[in-house]
Amino acid sequence: MRVAVVGVGYSGFNANTPDLHWKEIMFEAAVRAYEDAGINPRRDVDSFITCAEDIWEGFAIFDEFVPDQLGAVLKPTCTICGDFLYGLATAYMHITSGLAEVAVVEAHSKASDILTFGEVIKFAMDPIWLRQIGNAHPYYFAALEMAQYINECCITEEQIASVVVKNKNNARLNPSAPYGGKVGIEDVLNSPMVFDPMRKIEIAPRADGAVVFVLANEEIAKKLTDSPVWLKGVGWWSETSNFDTMSFNAMYAAKAAKMAYKMAGITNAAKEVDFAEVDDRFAFKEIQHIEALGLSKRFETATLMVEGYFDRNGELPINVSGGNLGVGNLLEATGGQKALEVVLQLRGEAGKRQLSKAEVGVAQAWRYIPTASGAVAVFGV
Amino acid sequence: MAVGKKDISCPPEAIGTPIKDEDLKKGKVTYYEDYPDLRYAWTAGQAISRFLNELKKGRLIATKCNECGRIMFPPRIFCELCFKPIDDWVYVKDTGVVQTFSISYIDPDARPLPEPIIVAVIAVDGASPKMGIMHVLGEVKPEDVYIGMKVKAVWKDEEEREGAITDIKYWKPVG
């Protein structure tokens, strides 16, 4: 059985949203997705799935707060404690198992509601083993990984800078990307070294927004639209929570991609994938993730980056939307924004940033520091 | 009639060796304490901002859906049953009827309260049936509270109000 994306909606993405409550952001995204799909959620949806982490929200049992603004009152609803792409995997299972014909997936970020962001991230660290070590902002976790990775792969400062330059400039063509800019290599190299070897501009700033997808089985999808986008494969994987024993080579992304590619029947990703949206919440992560997704070879990725291979007019465009460096860190909606961009590109609805060849696209998200977990989704037309 | 051995006796609860406060103080239990500094500021948004600002003025406001006709309190910008944006804002009264209540004797840390707190859900006059507010009752003895009792909001003085649900001190019986 095939599963299709028949509707997408989003709200944002903005650096701050002082005028709206997070429920109102969700409502806005949901209304747009249902309108796009041409469905009535009160009548047509069999399963609602949201992706949320209580600690980002600031209150517990988030699933209890979901139904009203999604049209899910007195309907089957559940919450996945993870990124949007994990929600897609769950919706896929609900549909292929026959539990649901139409399923909705939602994820959001109201990161601007969090006052002590560093402390909230620290809450994810083992309280006995890791949390008490030093009092630096936990962004250093990413820098530790970066230091090892760039050393292993001989990646230079300029190569890392070229990721920032590409994504910030890509974002200038995306009206939903608040952090775009005409940034050059020099601008990046002049950015303060805040977590040596990581510069401030290499860290994706936070953003608010919500993403809602409507998925359906093949029969319903063909009734709703002449041009469905198929969810061809999903995968998710975790390494270990032990920071001291992680690979620091994004094994989670490599394994999740392997799982998703197998489902999608992809044997040579570098050739078969037309474009990808990968997690770049720290600039070096983009290089690491491209490699893990098998889109280029180890030791060659950074060189290809500088050569423009991953540019929007390059051989294999990566993060045409601007990525997290351009759109922002959307917490659990990160994979949602990536999947959204893939769907818009596949539909030919990406506006000024529309790619000429877009038939197979990949979305990938990491569960952020301090994790070595993540998910991958493959879409096609 | 039950078969088999019948003289099995079982204590009403398991009796073990409780951990005493001094065991913890003397370090007989290995543990680590942490007090995370997690702080948030939730923007109230369109519906609740209006609601809170009206509280400051001593008024209760609700929203209306013309499709199902419900007057929804507390207000929201969408009707969750019809799944459409609301059509209107309407004031409701600061009187209502006790729909359910609990006389609560214990605080969140499981210690006895000096005086019981009477928590109640109040169906507010002017809103659709069973739409209302969870709050506390005052100026009433616990034994006198009943479901269906008519109550009225007792507000803080105007200069003390800050646009919070606690701008209403409590609800007291009327009539």
- pLDDT digits 0-9 by tens, A332-378: 999 999 999 999 999 999 999 999 999 999 999 999 999 999 999 99
> What's the pLDDT band for A203 if we cut at 50, 70, 90?
very high
Min Cα separation B79/chain A (Å): 8
Tokens of A280: 């770049």
Residue A64 falls within a domain, yes or no? Answer: yes
Residue A65 falls within a domain, yes or no? Answer: yes
pLDDT for the residue numbered B20: 87
A113/B76 CB distance under 8 A: no
A27/B78 CB distance under 8 A: yes
What are the beta bridge partners of residue A50? A79, A106
Select from A27, A28, A57, A132 the residue whose CB has the most chain B CBs within 10 Å, as the one to mutate to test that interface.
A27
**Three-class DSSP category at A45:** coil
Among residues A113, A21, A13, the alpha carbon closest in space to that of A69 is found at: A21
What are the beta bridge partners of residue A206? A329
Domain span including residue A91: 3-115+206-224
A67/B38 CB distance under 8 A: no
Residue A104 falls within a domain, yes or no? Answer: yes
Select from A14, A16, A17, A23 the residue whose CB has the most chain B CBs within 10 Å, as the one to mutate to test that interface.
A23
CATH number of residue A12's parent domain: 3.40.47.10
Nearest-CB residue to B41 (from A19, A27, A113): A113
Nearest C-alpha in A relative to B82: A42
- Residues of B whose CB is below 8 A from A21: 42-48
Residue type, B58: G
Residue recorded with tokens 């977590």: A195
B34/A131 CB distance under 8 A: yes
Region B120-129 average pLDDT: 96
Residue A17 falls within a domain, yes or no? Answer: yes
Q: In chain B, what are the helix, strand and coil shares in percent, each to the nearest 5?
A: 15, 35, 50
- Residues of A whose CB is below 8 A from B32: 127-128, 132
Quote the ipTM score: 0.92
Min Cα separation B42/chain A (Å): 5
Nearest-CB residue to B40 (from A40, A113, A122): A113
Domains held by chain A: number: 1
Min Cα separation B53/chain A (Å): 14
Q: Is the dihedral of CA A144, A150, A151, A153 positive or negative?
A: positive
Min Cα separation B52/chain A (Å): 13
| pLDDT tens for each residue of A67-84 | 999 999 999 999 999 999
Flag whether residue B45 sits within 8 Å of chain A, measured between CB atoms.
Answer: yes
The alpha carbon of A193 is separated from its chain's Cα centroid by a whole number of angstroms, namely 26
Residue type, A180: G
Min Cα separation B48/chain A (Å): 8
Q: Are B89 and B63 in contact (CB under 8 A)?
A: yes
Give the contacts of A286 (CB within 8 A, at least 6 positions apart): A163, A167, A278, A279, A280, A318, A319, A323
% of residues, chain B, pLDDT over 90: 76
If one compares A258 and B132, the residue with the highest pLDDT of the two is: A258
| pLDDT tens for each residue of B5-33 | 556 666 667 677 888 889 888 888 888 88
- DSSP single-letter state for residue B156: P
| pLDDT tops 50 at residue B1 | no
Residue A40 falls within a domain, yes or no? Answer: yes
